[in-house]
């Protein structure tokens, strides 16, 4: 893929995603709680509120659609479906999962990223001749943000905040292992690779993992988690893709494409930006 083609994909995806987020929020008819600044700067306060929402939802609002567009441009098939779980979870698979999670959290050396994956796939081989009969939607929080296919391989990714809270990595491990369990229980002869993604390194030249809580344990770097270009270069097939993303974002600003798009959206929703407060100040009765 040519550099300019990749930058165009990045810019188009970013402008489209952010614009769609603003458009959705502005046309929402849900009544917000009264804020005192509604009386003096209703437009600015609402925009700030939307930007705050954008900051906390970058994974689904920006990184996910951007990743899918880049991957599609490099020949990946972007799956629109999501993983399903067995309606009646088999005891053998449930026990295997429980044992792996416990061993990994205890860091007792029994399992690593590769052997955990292999053990789950191995126990699912029994479902080749005795397929599981019924599957249901995966439990809330266990779905896959990005499901890609290429050259006979299924790839599962989920983008996360680059500064996870205490306990988050235990959840990330369980999420990855569940993905493998769901996938191989339905496709025991398939091949999959699952990773948690940190879309950029907020620590600059410093190593991401050295600045992360307990080095990211119990998940493993590389095997189960990628940071910045490890992910973006895989999707694009190019090198130093995140630098192109940063350059593209800077060009969006200088070219004014996002500003123009947002101006159009604001003009379309101007009546929603200057509405009367939901709970105007009440008159106080005097004695």
The widest CA-to-CA distance across the chain, in whole angstroms, is 85
Q: How far apart are CA 14 and CA 181, in angstroms?
A: 33
Q: Which residues pair with 85 in a beta bridge?
A: 136
State the pLDDT confidence band at 287, using cuts at 50, 70 and 90.
very low
Residues 6+ apart with CB under 8 A from 277: 34, 35, 38, 39, 42
pLDDT, greater one: 282 or 36: 36
pLDDT at 99 > cutoff 70: yes
Mean pLDDT check: name the lowest of 25-39, 106-120, 242-256: 25-39
How much is the pLDDT for 276?
53
Q: What percent of the chain has pLDDT over 90?
A: 66
- If you average pLDDT over residues 262-287, what whole number do you get? 62
pLDDT at 157 > cutoff 50: yes
pLDDT at 9 > cutoff 60: yes
Q: How far apart are CA 64 and CA 157, in angstroms?
A: 9
Q: How far apart are CA 47 and CA 40, in angstroms?
A: 14
Residue labelled with tokens 């779980």: 85
Task: Please give the full DSSP string across 24-52, using - where no structure is assigned.
Answer: HHHT--PPPPP-GGGGT-HHHHHHHHHHH
Q: How far apart are CA 228 and CA 241, in angstroms?
A: 9
């Amino acid at each position: 893929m040519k550099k300019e083609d990749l930058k165009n994909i990045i810019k188009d995806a970013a402008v489209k995603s952010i614009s769609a987020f603003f458009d959705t929020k502005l046309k929402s008819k849900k009544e917000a709680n009264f804020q005192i600044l509604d009386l003096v700067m209703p437009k600015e306060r609402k925009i700030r509120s939307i930007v705050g929402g954008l900051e906390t939802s970058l994974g689904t609002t920006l990184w996910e659609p951007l990743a899918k567009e880049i991957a599609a441009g490099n020949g990946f098939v972007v799956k629109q479906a999501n993983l399903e779980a067995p309606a009646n979870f088999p005891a053998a698979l449930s026990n295997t999962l429980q044992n792996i999670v416990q061993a990994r959290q205890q860091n007792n050396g029994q399992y690593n990223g590769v052997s955990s994956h292999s053990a789950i796939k191995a126990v699912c081989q029994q479902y080749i001749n005795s397929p599981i009969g019924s599957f249901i939607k995966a439990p809330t929080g266990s779905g896959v943000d990005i499901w890609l296919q290429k050259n006979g391989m299924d790839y599962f990714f989920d983008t996360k905040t680059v500064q996870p809270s205490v306990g988050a990595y235990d959840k990330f491990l369980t999420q990855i292992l569940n993905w493998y369990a769901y996938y191989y229980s339905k496709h025991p002869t398939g091949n999959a690779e699952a990773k948690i993604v940190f879309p950029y390194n907020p620590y600059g030249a410093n190593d991401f993992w050295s600045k992360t809580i307990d080095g990211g344990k119990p998940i493993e770097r590389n095997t189960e988690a990628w940071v910045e270009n490890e992910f973006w270069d895989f999707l694009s097939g190019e090198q130093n893709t995140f630098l192109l993303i940063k350059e593209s974002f800077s060009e969006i600003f200088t070219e004014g494409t996002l500003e123009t798009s947002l101006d159009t959206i604001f003009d379309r929703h101007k009546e929603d930006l200057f509405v009367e407060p939901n709970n105007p100040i009440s008159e106080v009765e005097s004695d």
